[in-house]
Structure 1
Amino acid sequence: MALVVGAVLIAVTDPEVRTASGYFFSRPTDTLSAVWDAVFGAYSSLFQGSVYNFRRPRFVDGIRPLTETLTFATPLIAAGLGVALAFRVGMFNIGGRGQMLIAAACAGYVGFTYDLPPVVHLIAAIVAGVVGGALWGGIAGLLRARTGAHEVIVTIMLNYVAFYLISYLLRTPGALQAPGSNNPKTPAMADTAVLPSLFGTRYSLHWGFVLVVLVTAAVWWLMERSAVGYRFRVVGENAAAARVAGIRVERTYVWAMVLSGALVGLAGVAQVLGTVTTGFTADIDAGIGFDAITVALLGRSRPWGVFAAGILFGAFKAGGFAMQAAESIPVDIVLVVQSVIVLFIAAPPLVRAVFRVPESRSKAAAR
């Protein structure tokens, strides 16, 4: 349904379609042909920019769009897992931007400051970033547990605190700013702290994607097979009942936000050690912290659902630029399609009403 809505928008905004529609009643086939060319051209460019480019003669070149999709998806999946974990506990972590910034600053500082052996340096940088994101997320969980402060307000405010703090450090010599530079940018990461390429320098995909796959499996086991995950889910379903059952709800809130911040922080680590290794600025989060909310919603807050949703949105990001370059279609159309997807996912009654699908008896009885 979202792709159909996107097709309508592509057709309406296409100049050739608008020109042909001016004489639609005299030559209607021209308008229909222009609509087909616009929509087919846009979606074929979207596919070739995100999955496989058939215009390339060699397979190693044609498959490159898929690696770009997975590269874009890596931080989205990590951040989406963090938001989804908070959702399962009944909390709304909207502070992804701040957690990513703090994690990127911690990982980046270790990455360009210290001189360590290759493997040790990379592990130290990753751990520093994850711990930074966990601590920043834990602040919201602690305030929720101790004072009852709403995590939405706290995490939004912490976004501003993190942004201006990192902006200040990027303009402070001896902190994060590159030596001898007047620009608010860090030095380049040391080669020993950079995530290696997964298939060689020809592609931008790095080992961060493999790490995210392992983390997705770990989060699935945590939420579905462990006692901690059981407590998380019980608190998310009914905090009062969980408290009566003996579960320490306040402690659960704290640990949920710590783990959520750590996962979102991993997205910042993937950005600074895998994608933007030549130094980063205060916009290193690239809107991923907010996109992660969409990914978590689309994935129904389930780890492997979030994984699939992250790859889908990574495809939109990779293919959107190709669509804009090849067909001169605004990349905003891709954002509209993403928004419509979330609209349909978040409003199942709307989809049932459109297709006249009755509600299942079990769900009706439960309601």
Structure 2
Amino acid sequence: MAVLDPLGGSRPLAEVAVGADDHARVSRLLAVALEGTGPALLPRAGEEQAMPVAGAPVAGGVADRIALVVETSGSTGYPKRVALSAGALRASHAASGRALGGPGQWLLALPPHYIAGVQVLIRSLLDGTEAVAAPQGPFRPDGFVAAAALLDPGVRHYTSLVPVQLSRLLDDEEGVAALTRFDGVVVGGQRLPLPLAERAAAVGVRLHRSYGSSETAGGCVYDGVPFDGVELSVADGEVAVGGAVLAEGYLGDPRLTAERFRGEGARRRYLTGDTGSIEGGVLGVSGRRDRVLVSGGTNVSLDRLEAVLRDRPGWDGVVVLARDDEQWGQVPVVVAAVDVDLAEARAIAAQAIGVAAQPAAVRRLDTVPMTASGKPDRVAIARLLAPAGPRH
């Protein structure tokens, strides 16, 4: 399949469908991609039989400096293909190693076709260790525990998780024991609810809250503090990131590349679309610019409301979406796989944010759809809610 880089180039791009146990294969392909002796790699979710021959020539290609193309999860819309250079990936590895305290062996618990998962493999390669993989598919604490037992006792141990995985491990006695043996547990992909962070700290988990995206080669801020060489700024409320970890842009979408990546050289910045502030050198992220509704003329951040509700014990998995409303324009709706009392949710929202943030309804689902990277699949959730929504 031909995938053309908007910047032009002739380096082959190997599009590889990653099966459940393909982490070793992906590691081998990453090694030659990083060294420049093989094609750039585009890992995608898929079955073994769908995988083309690795390294087979394709029509067209990407710029020579590109080593990896990662598809975003598409949790809020259409997936994008983010092109990363070998230099950006190596810069991310070096900076994360300094932030964590040194090289080590990683346990892969995330899909290796998303940035957090593929970075586990890259960091293992560049540290000279072999990643150990937990079983792919639906996450199970016993699979994680079994994989952790295979780690080399003579080196430091790291893993990368999303909040729902951390929560399930903390609910499991053996999972807790396994977590506490890691020298660093990086948690990202979405905001970490405060009660969950407190539970982890109480049992001695060495937790690092990660902030970043595919466009920044993965996490580039731990616990609010940017990696060495990463520059953060906030303009008009939007967080921007600069430094050697930045992606080259989006394949096939020069317009979006120009919109999100501004400036050149050392002044180049990625506009994240996140709202936040920096105080005392520490970044605080409050939500997404595109996750704001207008209710009765008042702007309401759905991410901020979601965060406030998730801080209530037992509600850490709630999701908040917007619904059209004839009277107010739009109103928030809470979606959860647990019982959420609407009156209590409205009281919490009003006190923390204001009356315009009060949810109009609670929808209970047996299971909240998630993407493969562990984020709420807001597109799928919206489809489930559509039949019950108002018709206009």
TM-score bracket for the superposition, by shorter chain length: under 0.3
Larger RCO of the pair (alpha carbons < 8 Å, separation 6+): 1
Task: Give the TM-score normalised by structure 2.
Answer: 0.22
